[in-house]
Structure 1
Amino acid sequence: MEKEYLDLLKELIRRRPVTSDISAVNNAVKCVRSFLKERGINCITENVDGRDVLYASTSSGKVQDILFNAHLDVVPAMSESQFEPYEKEGRIYGRGAGDCLGNVVAIIQALMERKEYYVSAIFNTDEETGGSTALAMVERGYGARKAIVVADHYEDCKITYRQKGILILKLTAHGKGGHAAYIMDPEQNPIDLLARAYLKLRTNWQNPSSPEDWRDSMNGCIISGGSARNQIPDTAELTVNIRYTGKTTMEDIVESVRSITGLETEIIRTCCPVSGNPELPAYQVMKKCHEKVFSGREIGFTGMCGATDARHFIKLGIPIIIVAAAGIGAHSAEEYVILESLYQYSRIFSEYIAEMQAVFAPECIEVKV
């Protein structure tokens, strides 16, 4: 990768674009916009509740053939030193180097190399807290004709074509409070009720054995109840995080949890799963580009249990592909991106833009909600 792009990556890290710091995030948008406009790329800045979002394209119009997406916001650093990037042993260290500023730069280099094609990118600014800015861009008419490439999840020589949805539930047990010195009927103590209900739910729910075991998963995350060491509370609560594939509807999952536990069940947060068809041309072309860059390596397709902004592009009805450069230690004190991988994925993105010109848009359509 050319020095000017690595310098841009380092400058973005120094701008400290932590999601909660809107001014810093907007400053990062200005930095990327300036870099692109000086090199002849069309840029539009949209504002979503005070946050700037950058749309870059090789030609005018909100809809191009290929749309790339990567986010410019980062999580807080473990120490201020993470905002001073440095190179060591073929890596760039710094907050956001792997998640997701390195991918931003890889996309930018691909745009610069393929100005003659119809290609665009959305650089949104709140992925770490839900990605509402990406959704807003879709709602404002930005999209693509053939495919969307979300650069935000690395799997070694694998292309992600599906991701699980999220369903967060709060389970509440109601009982009868009182002084902890006195014997309480277990059927009235909400903590006992909650504990038994969760154990029953865990017994009835068989979690996947591995990421490749594509089934719904469920894990308890937060338990709360009571405010004093000598007082039995009136209620106790448990928050569970469910990652679901879409084989069972969200409504059926909620009803099943309610039926098994017998507890009040409240939906706290949801996001839908994403599922594509790897046999379609858009996915096969991406595989071909990987095979060209990773000569001799076996390239496969996979799913991911986490979530990216891919879900916000579902309504566009075109293939969504999730790939990224090798970013290691995301959100940790030792976050970095591997420079060779950054170069490889910039090449893959560039090759994909060119190869997709032979694919007609109607052949691509296939995304399931």
Structure 2
Amino acid sequence: MAQTKTSLTNLTWSEQTELVGLVLSVVPQTNATLFPQYTIGLHAWFLDQVRQLNPQLSQYLHDGQSEKPFTISDLEGEINTQGKQLQLKSKQTYRWYVNALSVELVEWLKKWLEKVPATIDLRSAPLEIIQVAIANPPTTYQHLLSSKTLKSLNLSFISPTSFRRKKHHFPLPLPRNVFHSYLRRWNDFSNLPYPQDEFLDWIDEYVLINRHQLQTTKVAAGKRGTVTGFVGAIEYSLAKAAFEQPEFVDLFSALGQLAPYCGTGHKTTFGLGRTKLSWTENTPSIESLAVETQLAQRIEELTTNLLKTQKRTGGTRALNVCQTRATILARQERGESLKNIALELDMSYETVKTYAKIARKALNS
């Protein structure tokens, strides 16, 4: 079959651009099944694309301890379920979103667009890239700050969203959590830092919740473990006294406009926390979320049982090891090969094989 040439739509921006979001329209050539944690594969594919043009940048994105200057989404489109897996339809168009939050990554994107690859290789589901377009317009942090001030914000959380609080997941979009999430990215990448504690105290004092429509969900996310998160929409506004500090009002508005680029909460580089600056009631497919929830619940169940077999359960090491082993075992139970699991978890095949064996032995003892 002849390869369709990828359509590139209005993909130009100035050298000053610091933020941009792209949407890739992709098409599976045959019906294909995906495991619920398929965003790990999208994450790995993206980093490999960066590596091919800029190995140093890819290493930083993979290993850097600071905020990551990119986000990706899961696939948007009609995704059905087939047993414990997800199913993509042949010839159906799906959309995948990628956002860059730093000058260096925006520059990489511009070079990458000079020779867009024909497909995204998801192993079991190669996806032909038929179009790349702008999703979030090219801009700068200064432009967000100086643009028209928004005195209220409607935010929609399109994919499961969560925060970390006292070493646990916190599935509520309280103003302080939400704006702390945005401010961390802003202070890391904008070169226009603001005092964190002072601003967040102002958020606590003056940001109001006008309405919300939220539901909680549990999903397997990232390379191990599960996340309890939420999807839905919320509206924030400002109390009258907030306007006595206009610089924080401007930042409140700018961070709201940053949200579609940086996402909300944690694990945004694995598809969580995708956010729109609008009120929308379009939430993820209940069927596909149910499959992801089943996997998350199984990982959590296995983690709990494995922890009971540990002689030492203090600290985080035992929990991390048990979560990793539980993730491997749960995915293997759903028919995924240890080889593919090893590739996606960035672990050696022998280690994954050993972890699966140890986990089964511990559970059967």
Please classify the TM superposition score into its range, dividing by the shorter chain length.
Answer: under 0.3
- TM-score, normalised by the number of residues in structure 2: 0.27
**Higher-RCO chain (CA-CA 8 Å, sequence separation at least 6):** 1
TM-score (norm 1): 0.27
Asked which structure has the greater CA Rg, the reply is 1
